[in-house]
Chains A and B, each alone.
Chain A
Amino acid sequence: MHGGIEVSLCLATVVVSNLRSMTNPPLNVLLIEDEIKIAEFVIPELTATGFHVTHLSNGEEGLAAILNSAFDLVILDVMLPGLDGFEVLRNARQMGRQTPVIMLSARSELPDRLEGFSIGADDYLPKPFFVEELIARIRAVLARKRGDVQNEISVSDFTINKVSHQANWGGFKAKLSQREFTLVEYLIRSPNHIFSRAQILKHVWGIEFNPETNVVDVCIQRIRKKLNRQTTGTQKFPIDTVRGVGYRFKSDNES
């Protein structure tokens, strides 16, 4: 009798876990980019983030793939040999494919961006780009598509609210200033990625020069003080300084 229940319990667990993996399959991303060297650093990053990437390097093949297979998202370069990115998108939309598309291009001027959006692109990322930026935008586009209104970003026990600028670190709450919030959001979007001081200064303060004082350090210290949580050895403040390299938001499963 007991054995039967145990077996059925085991079976149930197996079924449930299978169900879980079925409800969270890796997202299928199609990358249409003719520069192999760009694909070489984009694909591993995307794969590491959990996407399943298919790579094609010309417009015709790309369009065929969009029309014939079901992708969750397409990353589409504009300057492609043969059929260019705009044409691929135009055709796909005309054929009724609503797959979200993020365009990549070295041509980032206003007319090109406007054209992309008018044909039906969901986002337009100019080159040169940061892969983290691309990943963040992929997540944003997918969330919009699902209808998720993501007001909160959480990593481990740290949460920030986009609307209220409220930060919550394991129960310790504080309201962040505009700059503080932008800094945390920038880091938390790509957990464990080390951003350089120059990148942070550009993104958060919009400056390209080096101020006299270490503004980034000062800001991080302020955030830490605001949250005012006594930390023990294992529960360090998640924003970490790596000397000579930059700053990152550490998630729990990272050393």
Chain B
Amino acid sequence: MKKSFRLHLFVRLFIGIAVVILANRIIAQQFLGENLKEKIKTSVAQVLVQCEPKSASELEFTRCALDARTLAYASSLNNSVSVCTSKFHPSSISTKSLCEQLRLNPATRYTQWVAVDHLTDVSQKSINQEPWLIFRLHNNPEGPKVLVRQASIDTMVKNLWALRDQMLIYVFPTILLMGLLVALFLTYAALRPVRTIEKSLTQLSSKNLDTPLNLNSEFKEFESFVAVFEQLRNRLAQSFTQARRFAADASHELRTPLTILRGHSERLIADLPVGSDLQVRMRSIGEEIERLIAITEKLLLLSQVDANSIQLDRQKLSLSQLVEDIFADAEMFHPSLVIHQEILANVNFLGDASLISQLIHNLYSNAVKYNTAQGWIKLALSTQDNRFTLKIENPCDNIPADFQAKAFDRFYRGDTARGRTVDGTGLGLSICKEIANIHQVSLQALVTDTNTVLMTLEGKCLSA
């Protein structure tokens, strides 16, 4: 099972989003936290600035300060903000003690005054073992002061983060869904140009290899990708052209001398005295020439198949008749072999008569050649669902271990020690396989448990 690109992309996208969110959180926590605190301070400082004009009346000042809920962040700190006027009249009992403390402690006990903005300063001081922030006006250091608990600022920030985290839980499924959609869309968008190229390429076959692809992708990033395919097509076309030319040239170059050889040898045989020793010898030469011609024809057929330049002369054939004829002759040919037959009648096929005949005869002659002494051959032709099956089975001694894998390899002869005792070139089965292929018929070799060789030919019937 191959991995899904969509899943792959989605997982990476998801991880990416998660990392971004996490980073965002950490950065926010670090830097924004500080930023937020500064903003709060500024806001509180503004209370002071805003209410300073009223500092003449301590009541007015206090009221103004406590009305600070109108100001941004300060409003949420309402309970933590206290005001000390210059006369140190506290706004509440608790504040009284705060301001008392302030008054009691001289200025030098304060930490460094830092400017919040151009109008106010802030300092941190511990009151009742709690850190407080104290705001004063820059141009009125002994004037009214606003106090804020440090802790409440920290709490406020913490609450903000808690809120954000809560929201994240609700946002999370949405993010997941969006991630999925983005992944799907990206996959589609990224693969679409590739798919267009794929469609053009599938139209390529051995017949139209010579025409340039004219592949154009709309996008410049795919140009080199497309160029590679064009180069590939070119090389393939050249390769096939060469193979085709070889098949054509070789056929002429080989067949001409063979014609001459055969012609002259036949003539010599005819001219020599009938039954003479010379005539017999000449016949031997003639037979070797015939053998050469047979091998050459086989090789030329294979080279044509390789060059994809073979054209079939398809006709309606009776497979039943073909196999029956073989069976009819078999008894006469090999009286020592027992031939079993189960041949269904009226099994027809659309194919090249000469080639199919070669195929079946080849399979049969193999069954004869590689049989045991006093052996047998089983011929079975049947059909099912408009498909025919032809089985040829025979026993065999010493079936080589690699037979099933290599039976159809060119020049495979099986046991090489067998070499000369059995006549043959090793091309028979490879030709059978090629003939089967070009007819869209399957041919398989099987070594059964009972040490027999079973050849199975399967294909589509021609309905009568």
Taking beta carbons and an 8 Å cutoff, which residues of A are in contact with B? 35, 37-38, 40-42, 44-45, 79, 106-107, 109-111, 127-132, 193-194, 196, 198-199, 205-213, 215, 218, 242-246, 255
| A-B residue pairs in contact (CB < 8 Å), sample of 18 | A35-B259, A35-B260, A38-B260, A41-B264, A106-B256, A106-B259, A109-B309, A109-B310, A127-B255, A196-B287, A198-B287, A207-B365, A208-B294, A208-B365, A211-B333, A244-B275, A245-B279, A255-B274
Identity of the chain B residue whose Cβ is nearest the Cβ of A45 in the assembled complex: B267
Whether B37 sits at the interface, judged by CB under 8 Å, is: no
Q: Which of B274, B279, B293 contacts A128 (CB 8 A)?
A: B293
Q: How far is the CA of A37 from the CA of B258 in the complex (A)?
A: 11
List 10 A-B pairs, minimum CB-CB distance, nearest first: A211-B333, A244-B280, A41-B263, A128-B259, A106-B255, A106-B252, A209-B365, A110-B311, A37-B260, A127-B259
Q: Which of B266, B310, B311, B335 has the most chain A CB atoms closer than 10 A to its own CB? A: B266
Whether B262 sits at the interface, judged by CB under 8 Å, is: yes
Identity of the chain A residue whose Cβ is nearest the Cβ of B365 in the assembled complex: A209
Interface string of B293-316 (1 = CB under 8 A from A): 110000000001000011111000
Whether B336 sits at the interface, judged by CB under 8 Å, is: yes
Q: A41-B263, A205-B329 are in contact. List 15 more A-B contacts (CB 8 A).
A: A35-B260, A41-B266, A41-B267, A79-B252, A107-B248, A110-B312, A128-B293, A131-B266, A132-B266, A194-B269, A208-B294, A208-B365, A209-B369, A211-B333, A215-B332
A41 touches B260 (CB 8 A): yes
Q: Which of A131, A196, A208, A210 contacts B263 (CB 8 A)?
A: A131
Whether B286 sits at the interface, judged by CB under 8 Å, is: yes
Q: How far is the CB of B110 from chain A (nearest CB, A)?
A: 109
Do A245 and B293 form a contact, CB below 8 Å, given A127-B256, A193-B270?
no
* B262 contact set on A, CB distance < 8 A: 128, 130
* A40 contact set on B, CB distance < 8 A: 264
* B372 contact set on A, CB distance < 8 A: none
Q: How far is the CA of A255 from the CA of B259 in the complex (A)?
A: 29
A244 touches B263 (CB 8 A): no
A245 touches B269 (CB 8 A): yes
Whether B251 sits at the interface, judged by CB under 8 Å, is: yes
A111 touches B311 (CB 8 A): yes
B393-432 interface (Cβ within 8 A of A): 423
Whether B283 sits at the interface, judged by CB under 8 Å, is: yes
* B158 contact set on A, CB distance < 8 A: none
Do A194 and B267 form a contact, CB below 8 Å, given A127-B259, A209-B368, A213-B334?
no
* A213 contact set on B, CB distance < 8 A: 332-335
* A211 contact set on B, CB distance < 8 A: 332-334
Q: How far is the CA of A45 from the CA of B293 in the complex (A)?
A: 22
Q: How far is the CA of A151 from the CA of B287 in the complex (A)?
A: 33
Q: How far is the CB of A249 from chain B (nearest CB, A)?
A: 13
Taking beta carbons and an 8 Å cutoff, which residues of B are in contact with A? 248, 251-252, 255-256, 258-260, 262-264, 266-267, 269-270, 274-275, 279-280, 283, 286-287, 290, 293-294, 304, 309-313, 329, 332-336, 357, 361, 365, 368-369, 423
B357 touches A206 (CB 8 A): yes
Q: How far is the CA of A242 from the CA of B272 in the complex (A)?
A: 12
Report whether over half of chain B's contact residues are helix, strand or loop; otherwise say mixed: helix
Q: How far is the CB of B379 from chain A (nearest CB, A)?
A: 15
Do A38 and B263 form a contact, CB below 8 Å, given A107-B248, A205-B329, A245-B275?
yes
Q: How far is the CB of B129 from chain A (nearest CB, A)?
A: 108
Q: How far is the CA of A129 from the CA of B255 in the complex (A)?
A: 10
Q: How far is the CA of A40 from the CA of B267 in the complex (A)?
A: 10
B423 touches A209 (CB 8 A): yes
Q: Which of B267, B283, B329 contacts A131 (CB 8 A)?
A: B267
Q: How far is the CA of A212 from the CA of B334 in the complex (A)?
A: 5
Q: How far is the CA of A245 from the CA of B263 in the complex (A)?
A: 16
Identity of the chain A residue whose Cβ is nearest the Cβ of B332 in the assembled complex: A215
Q: How far is the CA of A242 from the CA of B276 in the complex (A)?
A: 9
* B294 contact set on A, CB distance < 8 A: 208
Q: How far is the CA of A198 from the CA of B255 in the complex (A)?
A: 20
* A212 contact set on B, CB distance < 8 A: 333-336
Identity of the chain A residue whose Cβ is nearest the Cβ of B268 in the assembled complex: A41
Q: How far is the CA of A130 from the CA of B248 in the complex (A)?
A: 22
Q: Which of B274, B279, B329, B335 has the most chain A CB atoms closer than 10 A to its own CB? A: B274
Q: How far is the CA of A210 from the CA of B421 in the complex (A)?
A: 13
Q: How far is the CA of A107 from the CA of B260 in the complex (A)?
A: 16
* A128 contact set on B, CB distance < 8 A: 255, 258-259, 262-263, 293
* A242 contact set on B, CB distance < 8 A: 274-275, 279
B332 touches A218 (CB 8 A): yes
* B312 contact set on A, CB distance < 8 A: 110
Q: How far is the CB of A98 from chain B (nearest CB, A)?
A: 27
B280 touches A243 (CB 8 A): yes
* B357 contact set on A, CB distance < 8 A: 206
Do A110 and B313 form a contact, CB below 8 Å, given A129-B259, A209-B365?
yes
Q: How far is the CA of A111 from the CA of B304 in the complex (A)?
A: 13
Identity of the chain A residue whose Cβ is nearest the Cβ of B310 in the assembled complex: A109
A198 touches B256 (CB 8 A): no
Identity of the chain A residue whose Cβ is nearest the Cβ of B264 in the assembled complex: A41
Q: How far is the CB of A198 from chain B (nearest CB, A)?
A: 6
A196 touches B283 (CB 8 A): yes
B361 touches A194 (CB 8 A): no
* B335 contact set on A, CB distance < 8 A: 212-213
A107 touches B251 (CB 8 A): yes
Q: How far is the CA of A243 from the CA of B275 in the complex (A)?
A: 7
* A205 contact set on B, CB distance < 8 A: 329
